[in-house]
Amino acid sequence: MYFFLPLEAYTALFPARGKLPLLQELSLGTHEPSAADPILDAFEVAPQLRSLECVNLHPYKFKFPWDNLSQIPIMTVTIGDSLDILRRAPRLESGSFIYTEELMNLAVPILKPLRHENLKEFAVLAPTWNEVIETQDLFRNLIAPHLRSLRICNIDWPPFGAHLSAFLASVDDLENLYLRKTALIEGEVIGFLELLPTLKHLTLLSSSMFTMVTDLLLTRLIWRPASKIPLVPKLETLEISLPGPLTTTFVELLESRWDVDEEVSSVAQLKEVKVDANDDYGDGIIQRLESLAQAGMRIIIGTPDVPLEDGLEYFSSW
C-alpha cells in the first residue's frame, strides 16, 4: 500500500485503525511535514506488516507495529532516530536509512549501545544536499554481528574510519561492502579489508576529496600462490574508481584472481570487475583485458566522458 499525501490528509485514514489484518507492505510520503501535526495511529494495528518506508516524512508522526517489521526499504531519519528504530524493531533484517539532521526530531533518544542480532543488510545514506552526517555516533553505538551487507553513500564529512573499523570488527561474516563518496582514505579501507576475510562483493567509488583506491590497495589484492593469502580471498565481484588511468597493477590483479583453482586454493575466482578510470592507457593493457574477457571474466570500464553504468563491456563468452 502506497500513500504520498499532504500530512493533514493522513488524518482522514483514522477509520482504518484495526481494520488492516492483511497489510504487509506500507510506503508513506509527503511534502514539508509540520511539527504541529498530531501523531497518527491509523496503522498501529497491522499484525502482518513486515515492510515499512517513509519518504520525506518522519516515522514518529505515526504509531507503527515496529516489533513486526523485517524490512525498511528507505526511511528518512537522524542518527539517534535510527538507533531507536533498530531497538524498537528487533526482528528487522534489512534497513536503509537516509540521514539528515535537518528533520525535526520529535523524540530525541539517548544514544545507548545496541546489539541487533537479526540485522543482515544495512544502508547508511545521505542526500546530496547534506553530506555532513555525524556517523561516528552510529558506528560507536551499534553492534550487528550477523550483518551480511553494508552500504555507505554520500557521507563526505566528518571522517569516521576509526569508528567504522570497530563496527566491522564485530561483524562475523560480512559478504558485501559498498562504499561510495565517503570520508575514507585508502589506508583505512585496507584496514577494513583485513578484518573481512569472508567478503565476496566489494565496491569502492571515491569522492573528489578522498581517494580509496590506488596501486597500493590493488597490490594487496593480488594473489601470489607462493606468498600469504591476499586481502579478501573470497572476492568474486569488484567495482572501483581510480584517480588516473588503468595500470599494469590493476591488470595483474585481475589475472591473478582469474587463474585460480578453487578446489585446491583458498582464493575464489574473480568473476566480474567494473572500473571507472582515465581512458589514457596503452594497447598492452587493452589486449590483456580482452584476453581475460574472452576467457569469461566480465569487465566493464567507464571513463570521465562515459559513466560506469554506460561503460564499455569487453567481449565476454558468458
Q: Report the C-alpha gap between 315 and 318 in whole angstroms.
A: 9
Residues near 159 by beta carbon (within 8 Å), at least 6 away in sequence: 183, 184
Q: Average pLDDT for residues 70-89, to the nearest whole number?
A: 95
What's the pLDDT tens digit per position in 214-268?
Answer: 999 999 999 988 777 889 999 999 999 999 999 999 999 999 999 988 777 889 9
Q: Is the pLDDT of residue 105 over 50?
A: no
Count other Cβ atoms within 10 Å, centred on residue 25: 14
> For residue 106, what pLDDT is reported?
44
* C-alpha dist (Å) from residue 32 to 11, 54, 56, 96, 196: 16, 13, 7, 21, 41
pLDDT attached to residue 104:
43
pLDDT tens, 159-216?
899 999 999 999 999 999 999 999 999 999 999 999 999 999 999 999 989 999 999 9
Of 265 and 318, the one with more pLDDT: 265
With bands split at pLDDT 50, 70 and 90, how would you rate the model's confidence at 110?
low
Residue 232: its pLDDT value, please? Answer: 96
Lowest mean pLDDT across 32-41, 101-110, 257-266, 308-317: 101-110
Please tell me the distance from the alpha carbon of residue 106 to that of residue 294, in angstroms, as a whole number: 57
The confidence band for 147, taking pLDDT boundaries of 50, 70 and 90, is very high
Task: Note the pLDDT of residue 35.
Answer: 56
Mean of all residue pLDDT scores within the chain: 90
**222/122 Cα distance (integer angstroms):** 29
